[in-house]
């Protein structure tokens, strides 16, 4: 491949302690993509095993491979974000390094993309994971994401997807929001579909995720919903809560006064007076918080682009044709 020309396809593969699966995965990729102009970006997300050494050995035999190494473990979202940023292909396909995604599905995703779609999301219809700790929480999370975002996909958690490169440019990833990319892109007008892909049982290493990931999805989903609906108008949220508290304070105070006039009930011994004062304080805080959020939003949208990771080194392949 000529390194001066952008390739047709970029594979983005986050790696975290997957030394045992990398060689086999590389062989499968080369076999599956015979005839394509492509590059492979492996992002070593602070692995503590021999993953990076294995990747350097792979690059010596395959000049299509580019390596990015993080100084420490920043997480899958950061690794994908780095891969998306440095990918040069017109189409970008991320996949897991553990071997559960099948590289043979990549041409099928690209063919589907060529039907006029901007994003094709993989659907692991027949999952080979633990049904209690992985599959069931995933089904619940997918249902929640579909309901809240309005973008109905069966499998948001599948890493294997195909993106047109321009679809990823306006998207900034934080936290663990890589699974929400189809929803974020769809809100921007991109055409999203899904395709059933093969899901294989893990044969090496161990999973990095458990039930705790479900709670992170819920928290990230709250953030996504806020950003989608109120990212440029946070005063509507905080100001609305402030007005609601102000209304509650007025009603509570009015009841205190009526109880004094009608029943001659002591105002300073009435607990509703405390409720009224607390609601008034909360109303002021919410409104001030909304004003501060408005200032922060303007700073956010006008700030410089700052990555969410620190790269230790980038190793480019030599300028030589593939063997």
Interval 38-88: pLDDT, tens? 999 999 999 999 999 999 999 999 999 999 999 999 989 999 999 999 999
Q: Give SS3 for 132.
A: helix
Q: What is the pLDDT of residue 323?
A: 46
CB atoms within 10 A of CB 78: 24
**Cα separation values, 199 from 126, 128, 287, Å:** 7, 6, 49
Pair 238, 290: CB distance under 8 Å: yes
In the β-sheet with 192-196, what is the strand arrangement from edge to edge?
A: 192-196, 119-123, 161-164, 91-94, 9-15, 38-44, 65-70, 311-315
Write out pLDDT tens, residues 122-172: 999 888 777 776 777 788 888 888 888 888 898 988 999 999 999 988 788
Which pLDDT score, from 0 to 100, does residue 15 have?
96
For residue 281, how many other CB atoms are within 10 A of its CB?
12
Report DSSP state, residue 30: H
**Residue corresponding to tokens 């958690």:** 157
Q: How far apart are CA 296 and CA 319, in angstroms?
A: 46
How do 38-44 and 91-94 pair as beta strands? Answer: unpaired
Indicate the pTM of the whole model.
Answer: 0.74
CB 125 within 8 A of CB 174: no
Give the per-residue pLDDT at 47. 93
Superfamily of domain 9-228: Spore Coat Polysaccharide Biosynthesis Protein SpsA; Chain A (3.90.550.10)
pLDDT above 70 (res 197): yes
| pLDDT confidence tier of residue 193, bands split at 50, 70 and 90 | very high
pLDDT tens for residues 244-296?
Answer: 999 999 999 999 999 989 888 888 888 999 999 999 999 999 999 989 988 88
- Name the nearest CA neighbour of 91 among 65, 122, 69, 117: 117
Q: How confident is the model at residue 110 (pLDDT cuts 50, 70, 90)?
A: very high
Sequence ranges of the domains in the chain: 9-228, 235-300
The pLDDT score that the predictor gives to residue 25 is 95
163: helix, coil or strand?
A: strand
Q: What was the pLDDT predicted at 309? A: 66
Q: Mean pLDDT of all residues in the chain?
A: 86
Cα dist from 180 to 1, 104, 160, 251, 303, whole Å: 33, 24, 13, 42, 23
Instruction: Report the alpha-carbon distance of residue 30 to residue 45 in Å, rounded.
Output: 23
pLDDT of residue 304: 53
């Amino acid at each position: 491949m000529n390194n001066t020309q952008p390739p047709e396809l970029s594979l983005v593969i986050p790696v975290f302690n997957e030394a045992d699966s990398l060689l086999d995965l590389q062989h499968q990729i080369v076999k599956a993509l015979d005839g394509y102009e492509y590059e492979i970006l492996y992002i070593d997300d602070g692995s503590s095993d021999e993953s990076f050494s294995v990747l350097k050995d792979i690059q010596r035999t395959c000049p299509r491979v580019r390596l990015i190494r993080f100084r420490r473990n920043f997480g899958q979202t950061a690794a994908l974000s780095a891969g998306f940023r440095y990918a040069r292909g017109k189409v970008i396909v991320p996949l897991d390094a553990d071997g559960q995604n099948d590289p043979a599905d990549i041409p099928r995703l690209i063919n589907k993309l060529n039907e006029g779609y901007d994003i094709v999301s993989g659907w692991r219809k027949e999952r080979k994971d633990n049904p209690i700790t992985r599959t069931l929480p995933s089904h619940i999370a997918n249902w929640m994401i579909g309901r809240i975002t309005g973008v109905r996909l069966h499998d948001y958690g599948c890493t294997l997807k195909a993106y047109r490169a321009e679809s990823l440019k306006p998207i900034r990833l934080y936290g663990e929001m890589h699974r929400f990319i189809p929803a974020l892109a769809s809100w921007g007008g991109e055409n999203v579909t899904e395709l059933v892909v093969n899901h294989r049982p893990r044969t090496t290493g161990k999973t990095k995720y458990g039930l705790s990931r479900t709670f992170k999805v819920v928290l990230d989903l709250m953030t996504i919903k806020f950003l989608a609906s109120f990212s440029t108008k946070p005063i509507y949220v905080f100001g609305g809560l402030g007005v609601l508290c102000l209304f509650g304070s007025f009603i509570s105070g009015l009841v205190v006064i009526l109880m004094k006039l009608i029943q001659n009930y002591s105002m300073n011994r009435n607990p509703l007076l405390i409720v009224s004062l607390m609601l008034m304080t909360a109303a002021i805080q919410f409104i001030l918080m909304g004003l501060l959020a408005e200032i922060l939003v303007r700073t956010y949208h006008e700030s410089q682009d700052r990555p969410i990771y620190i790269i230790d080194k980038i190793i480019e392949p030599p300028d030589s044709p593939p063997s």
